[in-house]
Each structure stands twice: as C-alpha cells, then as structure tokens.
Chains A and B, each alone.
Chain A
Amino acid sequence: MSDFMMFSLVPMSVAVIIGMTCALLGNFLVLRRQSLIGDAISHVALPGIVVSFLLTGTLASTAMMLGAGVSALVTVVMIELIRRLGRVEISAAMGVTFTSLFAFGVLLLEWSQASGVHLDVEHALYGNLESLIWFEGVSLASLFDPVALADLPPQLARVAWVGLLVVAYVVVFRRHLVVGSFDPDFAASVRAHPVIVDLLLVTMVAIAAIAAFEAVGSIIVIAMFICPAAAARLMTNRLGVQIAWSQLFALISSVLGYLLAGHGLIWLGLGFDVSVSAAGMIATISGLILLGACLFGPQRQRAGAASLSQSS
C-alpha cells in the first residue's frame, strides 16, 4: 500500500486528469475536423522548451511552460500565415508547421547538448510520469497530513488547475462551441462569435498540451486528444453522451495503461524488474479502445450511411 501511495498515486492521478482534460477538448477537435491541431501544438512545445532553456539556463517549470506557450502561439500564427499566403488547406499548413518546428527543436536540443548542457530527449518525447514520486506518501493517513501533502509533486496541482480551467471553458461556452462547430455561418449571424470561441479553443488545447507534455511527452499527446473522443463518436449520436464516453475511455486508458506499464509484464510472467513507459502504454490502450470502437461501435457505419442518403 505504501508503495502505491509513494510511487503510483501521483503519476496515475496526473495521467487521469490530463487524459480526461485532453479528451474533453478532443471532442470538439474531432467534430470540427481539426484533430491535427492538438498534434501540432504538442510537437512545437519542444522547441519552445529548448529555447527557454537556452535563454534562462534553467529547467524551472515556469520558464519551460512560458517557452512552450510562446511557441504554441507562434505555431497558430504560422499556420494561419501559411494557409492564407500559400493558399493551402489547413491540414497541409499544420503539417508543414509542426514538423519543421519540431525538427528545429530536435536540432536545437542536440546542439545544446553538444555545448555541454543536459536536457533529456527521452523525457521530451515520452514524458516522465514515473518520476513523480511522493516521498512523504507513506500510508493512507498521508492524504490528510498537511506536511505530507505539501510534499506532493507540483505537477499534480498544475494539471489539476489546467483541468479546472478547461472544464470551466467548456461549461461556459458549451452553446457557443456546439453552434459554432455545427453551423459557423449561423453562429456568426446570432453573434455566437465563432472565431473568438475557436481561438479560445486552440488556446485551451495549447494549455492542455503543454501540461500534458510534461507528463506524457510530446509524441503521445495526440492520442490523449483524439483517441477517446474519436472512439466515443462511434458509440453514440448524442453529443452529451459522446462526451461522457470520451471521459470514461480516457479514465480507463490512463488507469489501465499505467498499471499495465508497471506490472503488466510481471503479470504475464515475462520477468520481475521489467516495466515499460507508462505514457506509451496509455497511448496504446487508448488506441486499442479506438480500434474496438471501430470494429464494434454501434454508430460505426454512420458516415457511410449518411453519404449514401445524401446521394440518393
């Protein structure tokens, strides 16, 4: 029990909060066919973090978050510029922007290491859930011990705040989001400000992506945004129900993924001290859930059926 409190409670809570937060936003990205934006933003967090490290020389979280935030902003502007000036569709603009900025980040990272400083590439890519150890978390009583609670890894509070912010945004703007996703022209005509709400959505995605970056790394964030929401869309034709499914899927992937990464191979009898990346396992589980929904989801044929009825 004390092992669980010390080594697993915090990483698992962080994974669950981040997973559910990203999945909540993911519902609207999927409905707006903007799934790539989450990927774009999470990738460009890397150059932002490296640049902030080169400028400040520290790995303090605030500086890194700030750097990631600035680069997310740069990305959004760059995507719009490429789309307008190059007259290409948005997914092409995103693809160009985030791959080139990510590549730039990797080069910067290598160069900074060559010049004698250390920033862990592996953590940037895969996150470091497992390192969120609660040293004072020795028993259940620690949950009520202020001294022990003060020792909680700061990432937990940070992702909790981000989660609350995102929930507040979705609750306050739920009608704007729905009307703007379904019918942007009508939304503009009733002054639902689809453009502003859209920008806010991208901002929320950026904030969630940066918070997730620390926990699960840049590669896997896209799975957190899209897999639960895409799988949920295949379960139902009601938006409210879809959101509920996405939250359930995110919860299952986070908890199951974390447990399997730590203990799965042992349970399978493959060895004792073998454990794999929790973030990788969480993404794998959410991918498997999506696969299951594609094969068995009750609404999996809707896209085909709709296009058939359109043409008839």
Chain B
Amino acid sequence: MSAVGQISDEIAASPLAIHGLTVSYDHRPVVHSVDFVVPPGSMTAIVGPNGAGKSSLLKAVLGITRRLTGDVRVFGQPFSEMTRHVAYVPQRSSVDWDFPATVIDVVIMGLFRDLRWWQITGRRQREQAMDSLARVGMETFADRQIGELSGGQQQRVFLARALTQQAELTILDEPFAGVDAATEKAIVEVLKRLREQGRTLLCVHHDLATVRDYFDHVLLLNVRRIAAGPVESVFTADHLQATYGGRLNQIQLARLVAPATVVSEDI
C-alpha cells in the first residue's frame, strides 16, 4: 500500500508522468509501452538513435498525434486538462519559414490561449513578446520577416514563443539541431535560467557529447525505455550500448561516460 502511495505522490508532483505509452504508425510500434516520470525542476534529455521514437513520443504526449495506449499526466491530472502548463518548441524544420509573418508575430502566437477572438493584439501583448525576445537576445529583430533569419535565429524565435507561454514544463524537440555555437550557448543559458526558476525542461537531444554538460536527468529510448534517471547513474557505457545497439565504439563510449575526459567548459 505504501508503495502505491509513494508512486502516486511522485506522479502528483511531476510535471509529466507517462505510463504505458505506445504509439504506432501503420501497425508498427514506434514507441512501445514507455513509462517515464519527469522529475520536477529537472533538465531532462531524451536520447536515442534516429527512428527511436523520440519525436513521436513528444507528439503523442502533446496530443498532436494519437497514441495507441497509455496515460499522460501533468501534476497528476490528465494532460488534456493541463495543457496550459506545457509549452512546446517543435523542430525548426517542421514549419515553412517563408510564411508572411514577422518575428514578433510568431512570438505573440505563444499567447494564443490568453486571447479570445474579439480581442485585438495590442501593446500589452507586444510588450510581453518583446520581453521574451530580449531573454533570447533577439529584441532588435522584432519586425524582421522570419524568412530573413538564420537557422540559429529562427530557433531563438521559437524559444521566445515558448517563453511567452510561461509554462511549468517546456518540451523542446532538438533545439540545437543546425544552430551555430553561439546560439547553442545562448539557448542553454536561457534553459538553465528557467530551471533556476523552478521550471522543468524536457528536451530531445542528439549530441551525446553534451548530455553531461547540459542535463541532470536522461531518458535513453529506443522504441522501448532502455533506462532513465540521473545522468551520472544512467548515462553509462552499458546503457548507451543497449540504446544504440552496439553501434558506438569503445573510445567514443569511454569519452562520453567519463566526465573527467570531457573537454572542460569555461563559460
């Protein structure tokens, strides 16, 4: 009985608890029976090879694609009642950047849920959006056409849109894909500041070399859950080998799992 009580306490406190989540395309499971509880205030990475179902898991959690089975809870409540508490940064390549919109137009989309149809976006919304843009260092780009931005700048705009959502949990799909080093550093700073404010971050991440530097928790995923927990105890050679099906060589592995050999970072 006490074990059951403990589990539900953990789930009630967690900004995202997934139980038995299965997603399938064309009768083939791409995510199979995954259990995972995101610790509150954590910065958690989802790591796995291509086709491991990382994005599919996020989309099923967010209700963008349908899940076959599974339960998704936010602070113990069904996800559908708690969507306001979750912000989402899709993959940058998933949208048409040729769309006729300016940077500030896109950031104001983060206020979608706060605006009723008769309301006009005015100075207050603009100020909120400018605030978010300033946090990602893009305030001078507010009136630029989004098609004129570099990949890194586009990613910052997406992050600014998520910031205006002021959510407890922010879910990001490969935020560092195809961005320059300066942008990566800036984004990590913003994410770490959010964590300092007690917010939770869940991030699909593809660069194994930076997992230890950026994240405190990790979910290793390859269709099924391979392992999950604090980075120092879970991000091990055995688990990585199991996740990547033996495709990593020993030298790579040794460098990844031993923090001492990671190139020291002086940020």
Contact = CB atoms under 8 A, between A and B. Distances in A.
Contacts of A185: 59, 62, 64, 88, 90, 94
Nearest to B110: A190
Nearest to A242: B100
Contacts of A175: 109, 112, 115, 117
A185 B150 CA distance: 21
B265 interface: no
Contacts of A237: 100, 102, 145, 147
B163 to A, nearest CB: 14
Interface string B76-99: 000000010010101000111111
Instruction: Among B94, B98, B99, find the residue whose CB has the most chain A CB atoms closer than 10 A.
Output: B98
B100 A183 contact: no
B117 A173 contact: yes
Interface stretch (A145-153, A255-263, A303-311): A303-311
A239 B100 CA distance: 5
Given A175-B115, A179-B112, A238-B100, A188 B62 contact: yes
A183 B83 contact: no
Contact of B100 (A171, A186, A236, A310): A236
Given A183-B109, A303-B98, A189 B147 contact: no
B123 interface: no
A186 B94 CA distance: 10
Interface in A173-199: 173-175, 178-179, 181-183, 185-192
A181 to B, nearest CB: 7
A189 B89 CA distance: 10
A188 B62 CA distance: 8
Contact of A309 (B96, B100, B148, B161): B148
Contacts of B64: 185, 188-189
Interface in B56-70: 59, 62-64
B88 A302 contact: no
A83 to B, nearest CB: 14
A182 B88 contact: no
A182 B94 CA distance: 10
Given A182-B95, A182-B101, A185-B94, A191 B145 contact: no
Nearest to B109: A179
Nearest to A307: B98
A183 B154 CA distance: 13
Interface size class of A (residues with CB under 8 A): 20 to 34
B12 interface: no
A306 B147 contact: yes
Given A173-B117, A237-B147, A305-B147, A189 B100 contact: no
Interface residues of B, number: 31
B157 to A, nearest CB: 11
Contact of B94 (A174, A183, A238, A303): A183
Instruction: Among A179, A182, A309, find the residue whose CB has the most chain B CB atoms closer than 10 A.
Output: A182
Contact of B98 (A174, A178, A236, A306): A306
A268 interface: no
Nearest to A241: B100
A182 B99 contact: yes
Contacts of A174: 117
B113 interface: yes
B96 A182 contact: yes
Contacts of A189: 62-64, 83, 86, 88
B102 A190 contact: no
A111 B2 CA distance: 78
A178 B99 CA distance: 10
A265 interface: no
Instruction: Among A173, A187, A189, A305, find the residue whose CB has the most chain B CB atoms closer than 10 A.
Output: A189
Contacts of B190: none
Contact of A182 (B83, B106, B165): B106
Nearest to A32: B96
B121 to A, nearest CB: 9
B98 A186 contact: no
B99 A186 contact: no
Nearest to B91: A185
Contact of A302 (B105, B112, B147): B147
A111 B122 CA distance: 60
Interface in A274-308: 302-303, 305-306
Contacts of B94: 183, 185
A191 B113 contact: yes
Contacts of A192: 112
Interface of A: 31, 171-175, 178-179, 181-183, 185-192, 233, 236-239, 242, 302-303, 305-306, 309-310
Given A178-B109, A191-B83, A310-B151, 4 more contacts: A175-B112, A188-B64, A237-B102, A238-B100
Q: Which 7 A-B pairs have the closest CB atoms?
A: A189-B88, A188-B64, A237-B145, A306-B147, A189-B62, A185-B90, A183-B95
20 contacts: A31-B100, A178-B105, A179-B109, A182-B99, A183-B90, A185-B59, A185-B90, A185-B94, A187-B112, A188-B64, A189-B62, A189-B63, A189-B83, A190-B83, A233-B100, A302-B98, A302-B147, A306-B97, A306-B98, A309-B148
